[in-house]
Amino acid sequence: MAGKVSAEQTSNTEGLNDDSTSVKDVFFPGHRSGLGNALLIRGGIAFGCLMLATVLVYIGRDGYYDSQNPGEPISFLNAFYFATVSLSTTGYGDIVPSSDIDRFISAVIITPLRVIFLIVLVGSTLEVLTKRTQAEYREKRWRKHVKNHTIVVGYGVKGKSAVGTLIDDGGDPHQIVVISPSASEIQDATALGCTGIVGDARRDDILERAAVTRCARAIIAPDSDDKAVLITLNIRRLAPKATVVAAVREAQHVAVLRQSGANAVITTAEAAGRLMGISLVSPTAGSIMEDLLDPGEGLEVRERELQPHEIGLMVGDLADRGEIVLAVVRDGQVHRFDQPEARILQDDDRIVAIRHIGDRGPTP
């Protein structure tokens, strides 16, 4: 078992110390990093200018004077050397054009190439510095203002489904921060309006960049149970009041996750197995369970606060209004619909009910 704590345990220590897992980038909604492609294009332009100048000098090699080899035409290497020092404005003066035609070519062709070469290099350097400064400023500004947000660790099938459910349920995607070591997954998350952080969530600095100390909720859905344990431990340490929901593959790890501080633990493998069993033994029941789990249409399970006009009603009265109450949450205690305490709805109660997804009704 392992996960995200300040230090790794046993074999996980090597993984955290690997620089390949230390990649850290913050991506905001609508952000796309096209700087790399731009630099490649500009580098290609600069190289093209250099090669064009080299070819022109080499073609007119008889009209250039080399102080190291007087009287001999310059070689292709020396032509490349002259083009390099000329376009970079270094100009050592050991190789110079001696004929009128070569001086004319240097004036009307090499000089413009020199200007283009310098603009490309200087412009690229300034853009790199500007983008880096803007990114750092935007991240600091975001971290200063974000609070009560939701952190989602892992953006595989589980994490992506969790984010989709939060958004479908009316959640603000700008209040969701996704952490994943995969840049492509982070791009998918930012496309939905979420903030994305590329990195290993077992590291304190990654969680701090996600403003974990001010988060209200955390969903832990990494690709292995040992990571889930360490990440849960670290988030619980840094955000003791946050609600933490974790997913594990095997039921034997549920107790460890709960001891690590998870408020709820979902066993994905066993849950899928149970659903398949139900679908096989009771196909109709299985289809209803799938309907409840599908956030797109049909039925949904939702927890909400009571409205003033609902106080004093029987739980069965809400069925006439399109909701089937499963449980009542009162003073932190959960009472099932068949328990006497849940028969009459009281002030400050919250209910867990099934309703049609089109009947949004009151929101929490």
Residues 183-240 pLDDT 10s: 899 999 999 989 999 999 999 999 998 999 999 999 999 989 999 999 999 999 999 9
CA–CA gap between residue 275 and residue 285 (Å, rounded): 9
176: nearest Cα among 211, 201, 203? 211
The reported pLDDT for the residue numbered 245 is: 93
Task: Write out the two tokens for 300.
Answer: 């949904």
> What are the residue ranges of CATH 3.40.50.720 in the chain?
12-24+146-271
Q: Report the top-level CATH class of 35-134.
A: mainly alpha
Question: What is the four-CA torsion angle of 152, 158, 161, 166, rounded to 10 degrees?
Answer: -30
SS3 267: strand
| Alpha-carbon span 219 to 352, nearest angstrom | 20
DSSP letter assigned to residue 107: I
Angle at 64 between CA 60 and CA 70, to 5 degrees: 135
Whole-angstrom Cα distance, residue 65 to residue 95?
6
Report pLDDT for 2: 36
Orientation of helix 268-281 relative to helix 283-293, angle to 10°: 140
What pLDDT is recorded for position 296?
Answer: 62
Q: State the pLDDT at residue 221.
A: 92
Cβ–Cβ < 8 Å for 248, 257: yes
> Residue 130 has what pLDDT?
67
pLDDT for 20 equals 39
| CATH 1.10.287.70 segments of the chain | 35-134
Q: What pLDDT sits at residue 15?
A: 39
pLDDT per position as a tens digit, 15-36? 334 443 343 477 766 555 555 6
Tell me, what's the pLDDT at 234?
A: 94
Place of tokens 């897992």: 21
Query: How far is the C-alpha of 154 from the C-alpha of 266, rounded, in Å?
Result: 15
Which residues in the chain land under pLDDT 50?
Answer: 1-24, 363-364
Residue range 299-364 forms a domain whose CATH class is alpha beta
* CA 249 to each of CA 1, 246, 341: distance values in angstroms, whole numbers, following the listed order: 13, 10, 35
Q: How far apart are the first and last CA of the chain?
A: 37
Computed on alpha carbons and rounded to an integer, the radius of gyration of the chain in Å comes to 32
Token pair 């867990």 in the structure block, residue: 352
Whether the CB-CB separation of 313 and 344 falls below 8 Å is answered with yes
Q: Does domain 12-24+146-271 sit in CATH 3.20.20.450?
A: no
N residues, the chain? 364
Give pLDDT, residue 129.
64
- Cβ–Cβ < 8 Å for 113, 49: yes
Residue 19: per-residue pLDDT: 40
Amino acid at the residue 111? T
